[in-house]
Amino acid sequence: MVDLKKVLYVLFGFITGAMGALSFVLPRLSGLSASNRAGVLVALGVLLSLVLYAMIKLIMSGIIMELNEQMLAKKRSEDAARRVKSPVAAEARVIEKPPDPEVIDAMVAEKVARTITAKVAQVLAIFQKKGRLIDFLQEDISAFDDNQVGHAIRSIHKECKEAMTEYLSLEPIRKESEGSEITVEIGFDPSAIRITGNVSGDPPFKGILRHNGWRLAGTRLPEQNQNLVVIEPAEIEIL
């Protein structure tokens, strides 16, 4: 904010100095011609006018700024007084307690569980639609001979493999050939590598790769309109 007192002091000093300068300059203009003397006086007048205009504008800006600040302060004081008197405003000032972190974690976990359940149901629905996999797994095949089961599996295998190729991307966890000797280093992921056989001590372990394992590298599942757990709707034929 502009210090008006200092500005006034500067303005007073400038005017005093200007008057002193004019008293010093004017006697030395007598030697000039009338036209040159008039030109010098006009230039000095313009210069003094510009400086005075700038100072006056600065003073007015400071005055307006102070008035605006006073009006804003008065308005804030009046608003504060109204909020104190108004019960509605007093209620509005009540700060709600933030939700319990445990409640938030539970809500997030529930949402994640619903999403995973919906995706699992979607994958099962794809295998059921393409290869009738659920029907086959739920069927009691103990009464059928190997030839009958083998014939059914061939068709289911073909359709389910096509569905898996279309919607899922799988990759082996270990790239070595099955039956080869490998070393399991310290810090291995137990969720990705299962150690069996004569296990003793700490890694590294040397063993034979019996299965490469699989991991899901990506999915191309279609978008769901809602989170459903229906794998295949019941079919009712109206007679």
Q: Give the pLDDT confidence score for residue 225 in this predicted structure.
A: 65
Q: What confidence score (pLDDT) does residue 172 get?
A: 94
Single-letter residue type at 150: G
Q: Which of 6, 1, 4, 8 is nearest to 52 (CA)?
A: 8
pLDDT of residue 148: 86
The token pair that represents 62 in the structure block: 């400071």
Q: What is the bridge-based pairing of β-strands 168-172 and 205-208?
A: unpaired
Instruction: Provide the pLDDT for residue 79.
Output: 74
Peptide bond before residue 87 is cis, with ω within 30 degrees of 0? no
**Confidence (pLDDT) at 109:** 83
Closest CA to 152 of 132, 123, 129: 132
In this prediction, residue 1 carries a pLDDT of 46
Q: Which of 218, 235, 221 is nearest to 123 (CA)?
A: 221
Q: What pLDDT score was predicted for residue 83? A: 66
pTM of this prediction exceeds 0.85: no
* CA–CA separation, 15 and 23 (whole Å): 12
pLDDT of residue 34: 59
What pLDDT, on the 0 to 100 scale, is given for residue 120?
86
Which residues of the chain are modeled with pLDDT < 70? 1-63, 66-67, 82-96, 225-228
Tell me the pLDDT of the chain averaged across its residues: 77
Class of residue 7 by CB neighbours under 10 A (exposed 0-12, middle 13-18, buried 19+)? middle
Residues forming beta bridges with residue 168, ordered by sequence position: 219
- Which ranges in 26-100 belong to alpha helices (H)? 34-85, 87-92
Q: Tokens standing for 26?
A: 């004017």
For 82-109, write each residue's pLDDT tens digit: 666 555 544 555 566 777 788 888 888 8
- Angle, to 10 degrees, between the axis of helix 146-167 and the axis of helix 101-131? 120
DSSP class of 96: P
**pLDDT at site 74:** 77
